[in-house]
Amino acid sequence: MPSAIQTLTVDLGPRSYEILIGASILDQIGQRMKSCVRGQRVAVVSNTTVAPLHLHPVQTSLEEAGFFVTPIILPDGEIHKNWNTLQQIFDHLIANRFERADPLLALGGGVIGDMTGFAAACHLRGVPFVQIPTTLLAQVDASVGGKTGINHPLGKNLIGAFYQPSLVMIDIDTLTTLPLRERLAGFAEVIKYGILWDRELFMLLEERLGEILAGNAELLIQLLHRCCAIKAAIVTMDEREEGKRALLNLGHTFGHAIESLTGYDRWLHGEAVAAGMVTAAHLATRIGLCPPEEAARMHALIQRCGLPTQLPNFPVDHYLEAMTHDKKVSGGRIRFILPERIGHTIVRSDLSTQLLRATLEANMEPSAQPTTKGYS
Ligand code: NAD
Ligand code: GLY
Protein backbone atom coordinates (compact mmCIF):
# COMPACT_ATOMS: atom_id res chain seq x y z
CA MET A 1 0.00 0.00 0.00
CA PRO A 2 1.40 3.42 -0.88
CA SER A 3 1.82 5.54 2.26
CA ALA A 4 1.13 9.25 2.57
CA ILE A 5 4.13 11.03 1.13
CA GLN A 6 6.11 13.23 3.49
CA THR A 7 7.57 16.27 1.79
CA LEU A 8 10.48 18.51 2.70
CA THR A 9 11.94 21.45 0.82
CA VAL A 10 15.63 22.22 0.50
CA ASP A 11 15.35 25.96 0.29
CA LEU A 12 18.09 27.28 -1.97
CA GLY A 13 16.31 29.99 -3.95
CA PRO A 14 16.38 29.10 -7.66
CA ARG A 15 18.06 25.76 -6.82
CA SER A 16 15.35 24.71 -4.32
CA TYR A 17 13.92 21.20 -4.55
CA GLU A 18 11.65 18.76 -2.80
CA ILE A 19 12.49 15.57 -0.97
CA LEU A 20 9.63 13.07 -1.06
CA ILE A 21 9.64 10.27 1.53
CA GLY A 22 7.25 7.31 1.63
CA ALA A 23 6.68 3.61 1.04
CA SER A 24 5.75 2.08 -2.34
CA ILE A 25 5.97 5.40 -4.15
CA LEU A 26 8.35 4.58 -7.02
CA ASP A 27 5.40 4.35 -9.42
CA GLN A 28 4.85 8.09 -8.92
CA ILE A 29 8.28 9.13 -10.18
CA GLY A 30 7.09 9.81 -13.73
CA GLN A 31 4.37 12.27 -12.76
CA ARG A 32 6.55 13.91 -10.11
CA MET A 33 9.38 14.42 -12.59
CA LYS A 34 7.06 15.92 -15.15
CA SER A 35 6.40 18.79 -12.80
CA CYS A 36 10.07 19.65 -12.30
CA VAL A 37 11.95 18.85 -15.55
CA ARG A 38 11.31 19.91 -19.15
CA GLY A 39 13.20 17.29 -21.19
CA GLN A 40 11.48 14.35 -22.85
CA ARG A 41 14.30 11.84 -22.43
CA VAL A 42 15.64 10.42 -19.19
CA ALA A 43 18.91 8.56 -18.72
CA VAL A 44 18.45 6.34 -15.68
CA VAL A 45 21.90 5.66 -14.21
CA SER A 46 22.05 2.56 -12.04
CA ASN A 47 24.31 -0.42 -11.48
CA THR A 48 24.37 -4.16 -12.06
CA THR A 49 23.01 -4.86 -8.56
CA VAL A 50 20.26 -2.26 -8.22
CA ALA A 51 18.89 -2.23 -11.77
CA PRO A 52 17.56 -5.83 -11.73
CA LEU A 53 15.87 -5.11 -8.40
CA HIS A 54 14.35 -1.66 -8.84
CA LEU A 55 14.63 -0.33 -12.39
CA HIS A 56 11.39 -1.84 -13.69
CA PRO A 57 8.84 0.22 -11.67
CA VAL A 58 10.86 3.38 -12.23
CA GLN A 59 11.15 2.87 -15.99
CA THR A 60 7.46 1.94 -16.29
CA SER A 61 6.35 5.01 -14.37
CA LEU A 62 8.57 7.30 -16.45
CA GLU A 63 7.31 5.78 -19.71
CA GLU A 64 3.68 6.06 -18.61
CA ALA A 65 4.32 9.73 -17.94
CA GLY A 66 5.56 10.13 -21.53
CA PHE A 67 9.35 10.05 -21.05
CA PHE A 68 11.65 8.14 -23.38
CA VAL A 69 13.94 6.17 -21.05
CA THR A 70 17.43 4.80 -21.63
CA PRO A 71 19.17 2.99 -18.77
CA ILE A 72 22.93 3.29 -18.20
CA ILE A 73 24.04 0.33 -16.12
CA LEU A 74 27.44 0.75 -14.45
CA PRO A 75 29.62 -1.74 -12.59
CA ASP A 76 28.91 -1.88 -8.86
CA GLY A 77 31.26 -0.67 -6.13
CA GLU A 78 33.20 2.20 -4.61
CA ILE A 79 36.28 1.11 -6.59
CA HIS A 80 34.40 2.10 -9.75
CA LYS A 81 33.72 5.66 -8.53
CA ASN A 82 36.33 6.98 -10.93
CA TRP A 83 37.04 8.61 -14.31
CA ASN A 84 36.60 5.41 -16.33
CA THR A 85 33.08 4.81 -15.07
CA LEU A 86 32.16 8.46 -15.42
CA GLN A 87 33.31 8.28 -19.02
CA GLN A 88 30.74 5.52 -19.66
CA ILE A 89 27.96 7.95 -18.69
CA PHE A 90 29.30 10.68 -21.00
CA ASP A 91 29.78 8.17 -23.84
CA HIS A 92 26.13 7.21 -23.62
CA LEU A 93 24.79 10.77 -23.31
CA ILE A 94 26.86 12.08 -26.19
CA ALA A 95 26.32 9.09 -28.50
CA ASN A 96 22.58 9.33 -27.90
CA ARG A 97 22.50 13.13 -28.33
CA PHE A 98 21.07 13.94 -24.93
CA GLU A 99 20.18 17.62 -24.80
CA ARG A 100 20.40 20.28 -22.10
CA ALA A 101 16.85 19.82 -20.78
CA ASP A 102 17.07 16.00 -20.66
CA PRO A 103 17.56 14.82 -17.07
CA LEU A 104 19.72 12.11 -15.55
CA LEU A 105 18.11 10.01 -12.85
CA ALA A 106 20.33 8.30 -10.27
CA LEU A 107 18.88 5.01 -9.07
CA GLY A 108 21.19 3.49 -6.48
CA GLY A 109 23.32 4.19 -3.44
CA GLY A 110 25.70 7.04 -2.79
CA VAL A 111 28.22 5.89 -5.39
CA ILE A 112 25.67 6.06 -8.22
CA GLY A 113 24.22 9.30 -6.83
CA ASP A 114 27.60 11.06 -6.55
CA MET A 115 28.73 9.97 -10.03
CA THR A 116 25.41 10.75 -11.71
CA GLY A 117 25.29 14.16 -10.08
CA PHE A 118 28.83 14.94 -11.24
CA ALA A 119 28.03 13.77 -14.78
CA ALA A 120 24.93 16.01 -14.72
CA ALA A 121 27.02 18.96 -13.52
CA CYS A 122 29.48 18.49 -16.41
CA HIS A 123 27.40 17.26 -19.37
CA LEU A 124 26.73 20.23 -21.66
CA ARG A 125 27.82 22.39 -18.68
CA GLY A 126 24.88 21.23 -16.59
CA VAL A 127 21.70 19.20 -17.11
CA PRO A 128 18.94 18.47 -14.54
CA PHE A 129 19.24 15.45 -12.31
CA VAL A 130 16.99 13.54 -9.95
CA GLN A 131 17.91 11.18 -7.14
CA ILE A 132 16.21 7.95 -6.12
CA PRO A 133 18.54 6.78 -3.33
CA THR A 134 18.25 3.08 -2.56
CA THR A 135 20.54 2.67 0.45
CA LEU A 136 19.82 4.03 3.90
CA LEU A 137 23.07 5.96 3.76
CA ALA A 138 22.14 7.65 0.52
CA GLN A 139 18.59 8.33 1.73
CA VAL A 140 19.67 10.17 4.86
CA ASP A 141 22.77 11.84 3.51
CA ALA A 142 24.29 11.40 0.06
CA SER A 143 21.21 12.21 -2.05
CA VAL A 144 20.57 15.54 -0.36
CA GLY A 145 22.70 18.66 -0.55
CA GLY A 146 24.37 18.54 -3.95
CA LYS A 147 27.82 17.13 -3.20
CA THR A 148 28.78 15.14 -6.28
CA GLY A 149 32.04 13.62 -7.45
CA ILE A 150 34.48 10.76 -7.81
CA ASN A 151 37.51 9.45 -5.93
CA HIS A 152 41.20 9.91 -6.73
CA PRO A 153 43.64 7.12 -5.78
CA LEU A 154 45.17 9.56 -3.29
CA GLY A 155 41.94 10.53 -1.61
CA LYS A 156 38.21 10.26 -1.45
CA ASN A 157 35.78 12.50 -3.37
CA LEU A 158 38.61 14.85 -4.31
CA ILE A 159 37.18 15.59 -7.76
CA GLY A 160 33.65 16.91 -7.96
CA ALA A 161 31.18 19.76 -7.88
CA PHE A 162 28.41 21.20 -5.79
CA TYR A 163 25.39 20.55 -7.98
CA GLN A 164 21.87 20.28 -6.58
CA PRO A 165 19.29 17.77 -7.82
CA SER A 166 15.85 18.88 -9.00
CA LEU A 167 14.04 16.27 -6.92
CA VAL A 168 14.83 13.50 -4.42
CA MET A 169 12.43 10.56 -4.03
CA ILE A 170 13.01 8.22 -1.07
CA ASP A 171 11.05 4.97 -1.07
CA ILE A 172 11.73 2.87 2.03
CA ASP A 173 10.60 -0.27 0.19
CA THR A 174 13.88 -0.23 -1.72
CA LEU A 175 15.61 -1.00 1.58
CA THR A 176 13.98 -4.43 1.76
CA THR A 177 16.54 -5.74 -0.75
CA LEU A 178 19.52 -4.03 0.90
CA PRO A 179 21.96 -6.43 2.63
CA LEU A 180 22.04 -6.11 6.42
CA ARG A 181 25.65 -4.97 6.46
CA GLU A 182 24.78 -2.05 4.15
CA ARG A 183 21.72 -1.14 6.23
CA LEU A 184 23.77 -1.04 9.41
CA ALA A 185 26.39 1.10 7.69
CA GLY A 186 23.62 3.59 6.91
CA PHE A 187 22.88 3.89 10.62
CA ALA A 188 26.32 5.42 11.10
CA GLU A 189 25.12 8.52 9.24
CA VAL A 190 21.83 8.52 11.20
CA ILE A 191 23.75 8.43 14.50
CA LYS A 192 26.02 11.16 13.10
CA TYR A 193 23.07 13.59 12.95
CA GLY A 194 22.23 12.81 16.56
CA ILE A 195 25.77 13.48 17.73
CA LEU A 196 26.40 16.58 15.68
CA TRP A 197 23.02 18.32 15.87
CA ASP A 198 20.10 16.61 17.55
CA ARG A 199 20.33 15.16 21.06
CA GLU A 200 16.67 14.10 20.97
CA LEU A 201 17.28 12.08 17.83
CA PHE A 202 20.23 10.39 19.54
CA MET A 203 18.03 9.53 22.53
CA LEU A 204 15.27 8.21 20.25
CA LEU A 205 17.86 5.89 18.72
CA GLU A 206 19.06 4.78 22.15
CA GLU A 207 15.48 4.04 23.24
CA ARG A 208 13.99 2.50 20.10
CA LEU A 209 16.93 1.02 18.19
CA GLY A 210 15.48 -2.50 18.42
CA GLU A 211 12.19 -1.46 16.77
CA ILE A 212 14.00 0.54 14.11
CA LEU A 213 16.35 -2.31 13.23
CA ALA A 214 13.37 -4.69 13.17
CA GLY A 215 11.93 -2.58 10.34
CA ASN A 216 9.16 -0.46 11.93
CA ALA A 217 8.18 1.45 8.75
CA GLU A 218 6.48 4.38 10.46
CA LEU A 219 9.44 4.95 12.73
CA LEU A 220 11.85 4.61 9.83
CA ILE A 221 10.01 7.24 7.78
CA GLN A 222 10.00 9.52 10.85
CA LEU A 223 13.74 8.98 11.19
CA LEU A 224 14.44 9.63 7.51
CA HIS A 225 12.37 12.80 7.64
CA ARG A 226 14.28 14.03 10.68
CA CYS A 227 17.70 13.30 9.18
CA CYS A 228 16.80 14.91 5.85
CA ALA A 229 15.35 17.93 7.66
CA ILE A 230 18.63 18.42 9.54
CA LYS A 231 20.65 18.06 6.37
CA ALA A 232 18.31 20.42 4.48
CA ALA A 233 18.60 23.02 7.26
CA ILE A 234 22.40 22.86 7.32
CA VAL A 235 22.72 22.94 3.52
CA THR A 236 20.33 25.90 3.38
CA MET A 237 22.58 27.76 5.83
CA ASP A 238 25.84 26.84 4.09
CA GLU A 239 25.48 25.26 0.66
CA ARG A 240 29.19 25.27 -0.25
CA GLU A 241 30.69 24.26 3.08
CA GLU A 242 32.15 27.56 4.13
CA GLY A 243 30.99 27.16 7.72
CA LYS A 244 28.41 24.96 9.46
CA ARG A 245 28.22 22.31 6.71
CA ALA A 246 31.67 21.10 7.74
CA LEU A 247 29.99 19.64 10.85
CA LEU A 248 28.37 17.02 8.59
CA ASN A 249 31.86 15.60 8.17
CA LEU A 250 31.96 14.32 11.75
CA GLY A 251 34.00 11.11 11.70
CA HIS A 252 34.99 11.60 8.06
CA THR A 253 38.60 12.76 8.49
CA PHE A 254 39.48 9.44 10.11
CA GLY A 255 36.86 7.61 8.02
CA HIS A 256 38.20 8.76 4.66
CA ALA A 257 41.71 7.78 5.78
CA ILE A 258 40.44 4.25 6.55
CA GLU A 259 38.78 4.00 3.14
CA SER A 260 41.86 5.26 1.36
CA LEU A 261 44.27 2.99 3.30
CA THR A 262 42.08 -0.06 2.69
CA GLY A 263 41.77 0.64 -1.04
CA TYR A 264 38.04 1.53 -0.96
CA ASP A 265 36.99 -2.09 -1.05
CA ARG A 266 37.21 -3.53 2.45
CA TRP A 267 35.36 -1.06 4.62
CA LEU A 268 31.99 0.43 3.76
CA HIS A 269 31.79 4.20 3.93
CA GLY A 270 29.37 4.07 6.87
CA GLU A 271 31.60 1.64 8.76
CA ALA A 272 34.59 3.92 8.28
CA VAL A 273 32.54 6.90 9.49
CA ALA A 274 31.43 4.88 12.54
CA ALA A 275 35.01 4.08 13.62
CA GLY A 276 35.92 7.67 12.71
CA MET A 277 33.23 9.12 14.99
CA VAL A 278 34.36 6.99 17.92
CA THR A 279 37.94 8.12 17.31
CA ALA A 280 36.81 11.76 17.12
CA ALA A 281 34.99 11.30 20.45
CA HIS A 282 38.19 9.84 21.98
CA LEU A 283 40.13 12.81 20.69
CA ALA A 284 37.57 15.22 22.11
CA THR A 285 37.74 13.49 25.48
CA ARG A 286 41.54 13.52 25.46
CA ILE A 287 41.61 17.33 25.14
CA GLY A 288 38.94 17.78 27.83
CA LEU A 289 36.29 18.91 25.36
CA CYS A 290 33.81 16.04 25.69
CA PRO A 291 32.87 14.38 29.00
CA PRO A 292 33.92 10.69 28.96
CA GLU A 293 30.38 9.54 29.78
CA GLU A 294 29.02 11.28 26.68
CA ALA A 295 31.73 9.69 24.51
CA ALA A 296 30.88 6.32 26.08
CA ARG A 297 27.22 6.71 24.99
CA MET A 298 28.33 7.46 21.43
CA HIS A 299 30.58 4.42 21.45
CA ALA A 300 27.82 2.22 22.90
CA LEU A 301 25.17 3.20 20.34
CA ILE A 302 27.55 2.68 17.44
CA GLN A 303 28.50 -0.71 18.85
CA ARG A 304 24.84 -1.70 19.30
CA CYS A 305 24.38 -1.15 15.57
CA GLY A 306 27.08 -3.76 14.96
CA LEU A 307 29.40 -1.11 13.57
CA PRO A 308 33.18 -1.02 14.03
CA THR A 309 34.51 1.27 16.74
CA GLN A 310 38.26 0.84 16.19
CA LEU A 311 40.55 1.83 13.34
CA PRO A 312 42.14 -0.91 11.23
CA ASN A 313 45.78 -1.49 12.05
CA PHE A 314 48.09 0.60 9.86
CA PRO A 315 51.19 2.57 10.81
CA VAL A 316 50.20 5.89 12.36
CA ASP A 317 52.29 7.72 9.75
CA HIS A 318 50.10 6.24 7.03
CA TYR A 319 47.01 7.65 8.74
CA LEU A 320 48.62 11.07 9.12
CA GLU A 321 49.65 11.06 5.46
CA ALA A 322 46.17 9.96 4.31
CA MET A 323 44.51 12.63 6.46
CA THR A 324 46.53 15.39 4.84
CA HIS A 325 44.75 14.56 1.56
CA ASP A 326 41.37 15.26 3.13
CA LYS A 327 39.30 18.01 1.51
CA LYS A 328 38.94 19.72 4.86
CA VAL A 329 42.66 20.45 5.12
CA SER A 330 43.05 24.21 5.17
CA GLY A 331 46.36 26.08 5.20
CA GLY A 332 48.05 22.68 5.57
CA ARG A 333 46.22 22.00 8.85
CA ILE A 334 43.87 19.07 9.29
CA ARG A 335 40.44 20.19 10.51
CA PHE A 336 38.61 17.91 12.92
CA ILE A 337 34.94 17.92 13.77
CA LEU A 338 34.76 17.12 17.46
CA PRO A 339 31.78 16.50 19.74
CA GLU A 340 31.50 18.72 22.83
CA ARG A 341 28.53 16.65 23.95
CA ILE A 342 25.78 14.65 22.23
CA GLY A 343 23.97 17.12 19.96
CA HIS A 344 26.78 19.66 19.67
CA THR A 345 30.02 19.63 17.68
CA ILE A 346 32.75 22.12 16.87
CA VAL A 347 35.60 22.44 14.37
CA ARG A 348 39.23 22.39 15.61
CA SER A 349 42.35 22.74 13.49
CA ASP A 350 44.90 23.45 16.21
CA LEU A 351 45.67 19.92 17.37
CA SER A 352 49.25 18.74 17.62
CA THR A 353 50.62 15.78 15.69
CA GLN A 354 51.68 14.24 19.00
CA LEU A 355 48.08 14.29 20.22
CA LEU A 356 46.84 12.78 16.96
CA ARG A 357 49.44 10.04 17.14
CA ALA A 358 48.41 9.14 20.67
CA THR A 359 44.70 9.09 19.72
CA LEU A 360 45.26 6.96 16.64
CA GLU A 361 47.42 4.48 18.56
CA ALA A 362 44.90 4.24 21.39
CA ASN A 363 41.95 3.51 19.13
CA MET A 364 43.54 1.04 16.73
CA GLU A 365 42.77 -2.64 16.44
CA PRO A 366 45.68 -4.65 17.87
CA SER A 367 45.78 -7.07 14.91
CA ALA A 368 48.61 -6.59 12.42
CA GLN A 369 46.20 -7.24 9.54
CA PRO A 370 43.63 -4.61 8.68
CA THR A 371 40.29 -6.29 9.17
CA THR A 372 36.65 -5.37 9.60
CA LYS A 373 35.91 -7.88 12.33
CA GLY A 374 32.65 -9.72 11.97
CA TYR A 375 32.04 -8.40 8.49
CA SER A 376 34.15 -10.50 6.20
P1 NAD B 1 26.94 2.21 -2.52
O2 NAD B 1 26.35 3.18 -3.42
O3 NAD B 1 28.19 1.53 -2.91
O4 NAD B 1 25.83 1.11 -2.19
C5 NAD B 1 26.17 0.04 -1.35
C6 NAD B 1 25.88 -1.32 -2.00
O7 NAD B 1 24.50 -1.58 -1.94
C8 NAD B 1 26.27 -1.40 -3.46
O9 NAD B 1 26.73 -2.69 -3.73
C10 NAD B 1 24.94 -1.18 -4.16
O11 NAD B 1 24.88 -1.71 -5.45
C12 NAD B 1 24.00 -1.88 -3.24
N13 NAD B 1 22.63 -1.42 -3.24
C14 NAD B 1 22.19 -0.16 -3.32
N15 NAD B 1 20.88 -0.13 -3.13
C16 NAD B 1 20.46 -1.39 -2.98
C17 NAD B 1 19.22 -1.99 -2.74
N18 NAD B 1 18.13 -1.26 -2.58
N19 NAD B 1 19.15 -3.35 -2.66
C20 NAD B 1 20.28 -4.09 -2.77
N21 NAD B 1 21.50 -3.57 -2.95
C22 NAD B 1 21.58 -2.24 -3.06
O23 NAD B 1 27.24 2.84 -1.07
P24 NAD B 1 26.43 3.86 -0.14
O25 NAD B 1 26.73 3.46 1.23
O26 NAD B 1 25.03 4.03 -0.56
O27 NAD B 1 27.14 5.25 -0.44
C28 NAD B 1 28.50 5.46 -0.16
C29 NAD B 1 28.99 6.51 -1.10
O30 NAD B 1 28.27 7.71 -0.89
C31 NAD B 1 30.45 6.85 -0.89
O32 NAD B 1 31.07 6.95 -2.14
C33 NAD B 1 30.42 8.19 -0.20
O34 NAD B 1 31.53 8.97 -0.49
C35 NAD B 1 29.17 8.78 -0.77
N36 NAD B 1 28.56 9.81 0.08
C37 NAD B 1 28.23 10.98 -0.48
C38 NAD B 1 27.62 11.95 0.28
C39 NAD B 1 27.19 13.24 -0.36
O40 NAD B 1 26.82 14.16 0.35
N41 NAD B 1 27.21 13.33 -1.67
C42 NAD B 1 27.34 11.72 1.61
C43 NAD B 1 27.68 10.48 2.17
C44 NAD B 1 28.29 9.52 1.38
N1 GLY C 1 27.94 14.36 3.66
C2 GLY C 1 28.46 15.62 4.01
C3 GLY C 1 27.82 16.75 3.29
O4 GLY C 1 26.92 16.57 2.49
O5 GLY C 1 28.21 17.86 3.49
Mean pLDDT confidence for 327-348: 89
Q: Which atom of ligand 2 is nearest to the CA of 147?
A: 4
Q: Do 157 and 193 fall within a single domain? A: no
Answer yes or no: is 371 within a domain: no
Answer yes or no: is 373 within a domain: no
pLDDT over threshold 90, residue 365: yes
Q: pLDDT digit string (tens) for 3-24?
A: 689 999 999 999 999 999 999 9
108 alpha carbon – ligand 1 mean position (Å): 7
Q: pLDDT digit string (tens) for 124-175?
A: 999 999 999 999 999 999 999 999 999 988 878 999 999 999 999 999 999 9
Q: pLDDT digit string (tens) for 58-110?
A: 999 999 999 999 999 999 999 999 999 999 999 999 999 999 999 999 999 99
pLDDT over threshold 90, residue 371: no
Domain count, the chain: 2
Structural domain ending residue among the three candidates 177, 205, 229: 177
Q: Do 192 and 330 fall within a single domain? A: yes
Whose CA is closest to atom 27 on ligand 1? 110
Residue 2's pLDDT is what?
54
Q: Do 51 and 17 fall within a single domain? A: yes
pLDDT over threshold 80, residue 204: yes
pLDDT over threshold 60, residue 232: yes
Mean pLDDT confidence for 192-209: 98
Q: Do 165 and 247 fall within a single domain? A: no
What CATH number is given to the structural domain containing 249? Answer: 1.20.1090.10
Q: Do 327 and 193 fall within a single domain? A: yes
Answer yes or no: is 376 within a domain: no
Q: Do 329 and 220 fall within a single domain? A: yes
Q: Do 35 and 159 fall within a single domain? A: yes
Which is higher by pLDDT, 154 or 319? 319
Which is higher by pLDDT, 127 or 328? 127
Percent over 90 (pLDDT), the chain:
90
Structural domain ending residue among the three candidates 111, 146, 177: 177
At residue 372 the predicted structure's pLDDT band, cuts being 50, 70 and 90, is very low
pLDDT over threshold 70, residue 331: yes
Strand pairing partners for 108? 133
Strand pairing partners for 41? 68
Q: Do 73 and 199 fall within a single domain? A: no
Mean pLDDT of the chain: 94
Q: Do 108 and 212 fall within a single domain? A: no
What CATH number is given to the structural domain containing 102? Answer: 3.40.50.1970
Q: pLDDT digit string (tens) for 28-53?
A: 999 999 999 999 999 999 999 999 99
Answer yes or no: is 287 within a domain: yes
252 alpha carbon – ligand 1 mean position (Å): 15
Q: Do 172 and 208 fall within a single domain? A: no
Q: Do 202 and 171 fall within a single domain? A: no
The catalytic position among 81, 147, 156, 328 is 147
Q: Catalytic: 56? A: no
Answer yes or no: is 18 within a domain: yes
Residue 370's pLDDT is what?
42
Answer yes or no: is 68 within a domain: yes
Q: Report whether residue 49 contacts ligand 1, using a CB cutoff of 6 Å.
A: yes
Q: Catalytic: 357? A: no
pLDDT over threshold 50, residue 334: yes
Answer yes or no: is 316 within a domain: yes
Residue 330's pLDDT is what?
72
Q: Which atom of ligand 1 is nearest to the CA of 156?
A: 34
Structural domain ending residue among the three candidates 125, 153, 177: 177
Q: Do 39 and 166 fall within a single domain? A: yes
Residue 3's pLDDT is what?
63
Answer yes or no: is 372 within a domain: no
At residue 375 the predicted structure's pLDDT band, cuts being 50, 70 and 90, is very low
Q: Report whether residue 297 contacts ligand 2, using a CB cutoff of 6 Å.
A: no
Give the domain extent around 23.
Answer: 6-177
Residue 99's pLDDT is what?
97
66 alpha carbon – ligand 2 mean position (Å): 34
